[in-house]
A and B are shown apart, each in its own frame.
Chain A
Amino acid sequence: MRGMIARVAALAIVVFTACAAAVSASEEAPVLLSVRIADGDAPAAQYTIDDLRALTQVTFETETIWTSGPQQFTGVPLAVLMERMGVSSGQLVAHAVNDYSVEIPVSDAVEGGPIVAFERNGAEMSLRNKGPLWVVYPYDSNPAYRTEEVYSRSIWQLDRIVIRQ
């Protein structure tokens, strides 16, 4: 109940940007992810699926608490995205399509850490399937990733990242 007003406001913004995206998507590949630094003059970085595929890719297999059986994820390490923004500390706020948002410390973005996955089991993910982008940690390879905190940071249907330094 706490954030009903905030969520309604956020919904308005989503509706607005979605319309804008829909307009631009009609001509070219849609932008899946935008990354910007809060309170900064620098323009947001925009990534289409091809932009993401052009970056360093990582594939790993792990089980999650939302799926059954081992899943193979492929995506761009969060660390790569942060590096591209020249950011090494602070918090990033990840937003989902439905305006869900969660804070992730930039320090989580390490090699062997979370990725922004765009493929699951070799196929791109639809919105119905928690796509198109999903922040996934390699839960199986590190017990420290099997905590509620990390689970809450594993945001799906990701579309924006705002970095607060």
Chain B
Amino acid sequence: MFRGFPIMPRWVLALVLALAAALAAQSVRLGHQVLQQLEGLSTAATDNMQWNLSQAEVEHLKLETAVLTAQRPDDLPKLRRQFDIYYSRIATFRESPLFEGLRRSPAGAALLQQMTGRLERMAAAVDSSDQSLIASLPDLAAELQQNSGDVRELALFGVVLQVADSKDKRLKLFSILARLGWVVLALVLALALATLLLGRLYRKGRQLAMDRSRAAARMEAMIASSLDAILVVGADGRIQAFNGAAETVFGYKSEEAIGQPMVNLIVPDHLQEAHKVGMQRFLQTGEARVAGKGRLQMEARRKSGELFPVELSVSVSQSGTDIVFVSFLRDISDRIAAEKQLRRARDEALAGEQAKQNLLTVMSHEMRTPLTGVLGAIELIENTGPTPEQRRYLQAMRVSGELLLHHVNDVLELSRLESGAASEKLRIFDLEELVGSLVESQQASAQGRGIDLSLHCSLNGKKIVAGRPRAVQQVLLNLIGNALKFTGEGAVSVDVMRLPDGKTVEFHVADTGQGIAPEDLERIFEDFIMLDASYGRGSEGTGLGLSITKRLVRAMGGTISCESELGEGSLFSISLPLPAAKAPPPRAEKDRPKQNGACRLLIAEDNDINRELLATMLRQEGHQVTAVPGGREAVQAAGEGVFDLILMDISMPQVDGIEALRRIRAQKLADGTDIVALTAHAAAEDHARILEAGFAEVLTKPANKAGLADVIARRAGGGGKALPRAESDIQQFFDALGQEKARVFLQAFCKEVKQLQEELGDCAALEEDHRKEAHRLAGSAAVLGLPDLRAAMLAIETANEDAEPPLAPFLQAWANAEAVLAPHLQP
């Protein structure tokens, strides 16, 4: 009820009371007027006038009597005095304001004039000598006789005047009384209203007082039962309230604490000064750094002197000039300890995870370089015309090597995805063509296994899409590969379908293979999952395929799911956002003259052997190759010749690949020509940095022929020529470079190794130059098929700063290598 009747009555009440006061004043004034009027009526305001009028008649009669009875001179004084009295009456009529009305009325004025005239005539007679007065007595009597009628009329006039006057007064009184009535009525109403308002105010006040006492009781209970310590501190810094929780937390009894300065009790010594300064500042400037700033963490002190962490929230309560600080404190020692423990546990876990990740990445990377060396060598050997038996062994080696490389790549891909590297930029491509050629490429494998691989595309004519083609390709390849792998004999079907929303494309890869048990369905997307032993036997793999697939799908904003029935087959479904796009304009190729697929290539690589090997491989494929040993030379070559593609090593001495690219682009030396990076850095962030610098793409060293052919085909518009099989081995090396050149390189290599050996023997600790040299020689050793020597070199490169250089394996490996190389050093 009071909610609906808010603060309004305060000014209304004041207004009403003021009105009542004004009305009361007015009624008092009117009442006074009424009293005056009543008094006037009761004392017969015109008594005096009436009396005067009637007395005039009386005195006139007396005068007449005196005149009629006067005979002797002795009677005259009495006559004269009586005349004087009569005279004075008439004079009053002429002078007094009481008879203003009489004098103003024409009849009254005429009457008075007539009587005054007679009076003057009689006065002349009265004032004369006794004899003449006696003589004129009869005249006087006659005059008086005439005058008596007028005097009578005058008296009647008075009556008329009085009636009019009293009527006026009555009307006046009536109107005053009426006004008084209204005023009193209004006053009563105003008073009634004021009473009503006062009543409401009273009830409201009582309600508020009750609310307040209830709230106070509740507050008391809340403070008492609070689990947090609550302190109320006055502006003087002394404690005013100290609840039960505060007693528990700080160890002081409430009686001990109240009235004491808070700073002495619970603020640690090293914070006391800051506290006092802060308090001073707040009281002077009102600037608070603690109060009202929410939760803060600080240190507090118990009675025992122990310091402990608290969470603190201070608010300022100000009413008038009275300021109190209300502090809520919570002992968070336990929480802080638990947090510390958790943080340590988490840090350890993260560090362990990171170490595992690093180990995997480094291991894989370190494995890949020699592996590609092995594979390259196998390819070269196959071209040397081996016997059928050798060819079979080589084939087995190649298959094993490729499988191992695949696994290593899986692990690297996983770590690359894990580190969140932006995989690939959005491109516009033909989805139907991509899927078609992908399925086509797997047909041979499918037919080999007796599987019917079919494709059904339903893209509603919108086959040009915007997306990440390589990721799509990889995902589909993984799924189709899996399906083929786990289907002994039967069918694998690939369905591509655009959903009605126009943006999403769904891919289904279904097989009639062995299927997956329901309890395993959840696990297949986890890392390193290989299902049961038989499943594992039927196929090889790291167990990373599906987890990579899932990561790729998620990175593209899609979803992947799997349904399967054991013995019946599996269905993998992917939905990816691949909105339809307009076909890009055909690539401008006017600057790229092609000669039967041959391209003009520029290679910048500081490692002599790698450079020569790369150049030889590419020349064997029919390309025109210009090879330079550094960044500066690359810039110069780019300025002198025209190239379809530049392959650039990143880490080169002096001018590195990135700097060289910057200069080429700045000087516009090779506009329209892509520059592809060659790097041994497999880490995702390195790739990002390199792409950011302006490289078209990154090839990870050592690049195999297929990768190079692909890049050249895509970037230089060339390639596509059937590649003759290359060989790797010292012999292949000789074949590639030519006998003379290869021998010179080999001799230089031996000399350099020996030189390093001598230097290391002489010095106590490894120097930076030694490491670089070892790195360089390790690369050459890999190409020459000297794995022991390479390992020894890498050991030197990565040996600890202060440890003894690992010379023994180096010497051993070099002794073996020398024996291998010796026949080739002589012509």
Q: Does B77 contact A (CB under 8 A)?
A: yes
Interface window among A38-46, A53-61, A103-111, A124-132: A124-132
The residue that B78 contacts in the complex, of A15, A66, A129, A152, with Cβ under 8 A, is: A15
Q: Within 8 Å CB of B45, what residues of A? A: 148
Q: Within 8 Å CB of A152, what residues of B? A: 47-48
Check if B95 sits within 8 Å of A68, measured CB to CB.
yes
Q: Does B96 contact A (CB under 8 A)?
A: yes
Q: Does B800 contact A (CB under 8 A)?
A: no
Check if B91 sits within 8 Å of A129, measured CB to CB.
yes
Q: Within 8 Å CB of B62, what residues of A? A: 11, 98
Check if A148 sits within 8 Å of B96, measured CB to CB.
no
Could you tell me the dominant secondary structure of chain B's interface residues? helix
Per-residue contact bits, chain B 81-103, to A (CB 8 Å; 1 contact, 0 not): 10011011001100111100000
Q: Within 8 Å CB of A11, what residues of B? A: 62
A151 to B81, CA, bound (A): 24
| Given known contacts A15-B78, A127-B84, A147 and B59 CB-to-CB distance under 8 angstroms | no
Shortest Cβ distance from A35 into chain B, in angstroms?
A: 21
Check if A67 sits within 8 Å of B95, measured CB to CB.
yes
Q: Does A22 contact B (CB under 8 A)?
A: yes
Q: Within 8 Å CB of B91, what residues of A? A: 128-130
Size of interface on B: residues with Cβ below 8 Å to A: 23
The residue that A147 contacts in the complex, of B43, B87, B95, with Cβ under 8 A, is: B43
Check if A68 sits within 8 Å of B97, measured CB to CB.
yes
Q: Does A156 contact B (CB under 8 A)?
A: yes
Check if B44 sits within 8 Å of A148, measured CB to CB.
yes
Check if A65 sits within 8 Å of B96, measured CB to CB.
yes
Q: Does A149 contact B (CB under 8 A)?
A: yes
A100 to B62, CA, bound (A): 14
Which residue of B44, B55, B84 has the most chain A CB atoms within 10 A of its CB atom? B84
Q: Within 8 Å CB of A68, what residues of B? A: 95-97
Q: Does A74 contact B (CB under 8 A)?
A: no
Shortest Cβ distance from A79 into chain B, in angstroms?
A: 25
Check if A148 sits within 8 Å of B43, measured CB to CB.
yes
Q: Within 8 Å CB of A98, what residues of B? A: 55, 59, 62, 85
Shortest Cβ distance from B351 into chain A, in angstroms?
A: 110
Check if A66 sits within 8 Å of B43, measured CB to CB.
no
Per-residue contact bits, chain A 1-29, to B (CB 8 Å; 1 contact, 0 not): 00000000001000100100010000000
Per-residue contact bits, chain A 125-165, to B (CB 8 Å; 1 contact, 0 not): 01111100000000000000001110110001100000000
Shortest Cβ distance from B494 into chain A, in angstroms?
A: 125
Considering the complex, give the chain B residue whose CB is closest to the CB of A98: B85
Q: Does B40 contact A (CB under 8 A)?
A: yes
A64 to B45, CA, bound (A): 15
| Given known contacts A100-B55, A147-B43, A148-B40, A65 and B81 CB-to-CB distance under 8 angstroms | no
Check if A65 sits within 8 Å of B88, measured CB to CB.
no
Check if B96 sits within 8 Å of A67, measured CB to CB.
yes
The residue that B96 contacts in the complex, of A66, A97, A100, A126, with Cβ under 8 A, is: A66
Shortest Cβ distance from B57 into chain A, in angstroms?
A: 12
Q: Within 8 Å CB of A18, what residues of B? A: 77-78, 81
A100 to B44, CA, bound (A): 18
Shortest Cβ distance from A20 into chain B, in angstroms?
A: 12
Q: Within 8 Å CB of B40, what residues of A? A: 148
Q: Within 8 Å CB of B78, what residues of A? A: 15, 18
The residue that B97 contacts in the complex, of A15, A65, A97, A157, with Cβ under 8 A, is: A65
Considering the complex, give the chain A residue whose CB is closest to the CB of B99: A66
Q: Within 8 Å CB of B96, what residues of A? A: 65-68
Shortest Cβ distance from B601 into chain A, in angstroms?
A: 133
Considering the complex, give the chain B residue whose CB is closest to the CB of A156: B88
Considering the complex, give the chain B residue whose CB is closest to the CB of A21: B77
Check if A151 sits within 8 Å of B95, measured CB to CB.
no
Considering the complex, give the chain A residue whose CB is closest to the CB of B123: A128
Q: Within 8 Å CB of A147, what residues of B? A: 39, 43
Check if A66 sits within 8 Å of B92, measured CB to CB.
yes
Considering the complex, give the chain B residue whose CB is closest to the CB of A4: B58
A residues apposed to B, CB below 8 Å: 11, 15, 18, 22, 65-68, 97-98, 100, 126-130, 147-149, 151-152, 156-157
A–B Cβ pairs within 8 angstroms, 27 of them: A11-B62, A22-B77, A65-B48, A65-B96, A65-B97, A66-B92, A66-B96, A68-B97, A97-B85, A98-B59, A127-B81, A127-B84, A127-B85, A127-B87, A127-B88, A129-B91, A130-B88, A130-B91, A130-B92, A147-B39, A147-B43, A148-B40, A148-B43, A148-B48, A152-B47, A156-B88, A157-B88
Q: 7 other contacts beyond A65-B98, A66-B92, A127-B88, with CB at 8 A cut-off?
A: A18-B81, A65-B48, A67-B96, A68-B96, A127-B81, A128-B84, A128-B88
Closest 7 pairs (CB-CB, A-B)? A127-B84, A148-B43, A128-B87, A66-B96, A128-B84, A98-B85, A67-B95
